[in-house]
Structure 1
Amino acid sequence: MKIECTIDGKALSLSVNSNKPLSLILMEDVGIKSINSHCRGNACGNCIVLLNDEATLSCVIPAFRLKDATVKTFDSYQKTRLYRDIERAYKATGNTPCPNCYASKTLIIESILQEMTNSTRTRTFGRNNLSLPGTQNEDNSLNKEAIIQELSLNTCQCMDMAELLQIVEIALTYRRRKRVRRH
């Protein structure tokens, strides 16, 4: 099957089996070395990519779902200015994910930040499909349940949820400051 998609900013035309998982396409066909896919589809969460700006397990996405999609891996994401917000939040809290899940948790946090700073977007969060408009409650407080659902895409236990929520809140503060300065 021939698939047209964009991976890390490059328009590609790939000839692959329609059921081949995205993680293998990235490793074998595109040559991305940083994809960490050891669970073979058991959803450990260490193979997260941004698929159309949403954190997605690449080991469970078949090739046919890539038609006209945009995929961003940690390799290209870490070269963006957006990455600095999360990096600064890690430093501010003194907590960072372990090397095994660092890339995946960072991409999940980016997906959350994009959702929180783009008020026109609504999507389904996490494995349990918790469908909520954005990630803020009516009183403008963070919807921690929705954020926890999204963060649970990665099963590594190197950090507890309270630490991850704090990182999200701090990174969101940095991100919102940037947006205010631009307007």
Structure 2
Amino acid sequence: MKIECTIDGKALSLSVNSNKPLSLILMEDVGNRTITSHCKGNACGNCIVLLNDEAALSCVIPAFRLRDANIKTFESYQKTRQYRDIERAYQATGNTPCPNCYASKTLIIESILQELTSSTRLKTLGNNLPMKDTQETEDTLDKKAIIQELSLNTCQCMDMSEMLQIVEIALTYRRRKRVRRN
């Protein structure tokens, strides 16, 4: 099967089996060195990529779902300005994921930050809730969604409260950048 997609900013045309998992495509066909897939499809979370800007387990995504997709691996993500927000948050808290899950947890946090800074999502939440309860409910919904998203990686090197703190601090950095640009 021929698949057209963008991986790390490069438009590619790949000839692969339609059921071949993205993790193997990245390792074998693209030569990516940062993807690790120790679990062989059991969803440990160490093979996270950004698929159309959302965190996704690359070991369970078949090739046929990649048509016209934009895939970003940690290898290219760490060269972006957005990466610096998360790096600074790790430094500010004094907590950093272990080397086994560092890349995937960082990409999960980026996915969360993109969702939280998206004005579309905030407007949708606000329009569906009573006016006086909007802020309180948004925080609760966000926290639950953040915990669920962070659970994509099963490594126990950090507890959830540490991860939430990192997300909050990185979000503060990200929002400051957006205010300066406007």
* Structure 1 counterpart of 2:173: 174
Of all paired residues, the percent bearing the same amino acid is 84
Shift of 1:120: 1.2
Larger CA Rg, structure 1 vs 2: 2
Moved more, 56-65 or 113-122: 113-122
- The 1-side partners of 2:120 and 2:6 are apart by 24
Q: What stretches of structure 2 of length at least 5 have no aligned partner?
A: 127-132
- The 2-side partners of 1:61 and 1:77 are apart by 20
Q: What stretches of structure 1 of length at least 5 have no aligned partner?
A: 123-131
Shift of 1:141: 2.8
- The 1-side partners of 2:30 and 2:69 are apart by 15
* Structure 2 counterpart of 1:145: 144
Shift of 1:138: 2.0
Trace 1:75-86 onto structure 2 (pairs within 5 A): 75-86=75-86
Shift of 1:121: 4.3
Q: Say if 1:121 and 1:52 are closer, same or farther in 2 by CA, change over 3 A.
A: farther
Confirm whether residue 45 of structure 1 aligns to residue 45 of structure 2: yes
Query: When the two structures are superposed, what TM-score results if normalisation uses the length of structure 1?
Result: 0.91
Q: Helix, strand or coil: the match of 1:167?
A: helix
CA contact (8 A) 2:7 2:70 kept: yes
CA contact (8 A) 2:125 2:134 kept: no
Shift of 1:68: 0.1
Q: What RMSD in Å do the two structures reach over aligned CA positions?
A: 1.6
- The 1-side partners of 2:125 and 2:42 are apart by 28
Shift of 1:91: 0.1
- CA deviations on 1:69-94 (whole Å, 9 max, x unpaired) are 00000000000000000000000000
Structure 1 residue ranges, 4+ long, deviating more than 3 angstroms after superposition: none
Trace 1:48-127 onto structure 2 (pairs within 5 A): 48-121=48-121
CA contact (8 A) 2:8 2:72 kept: yes
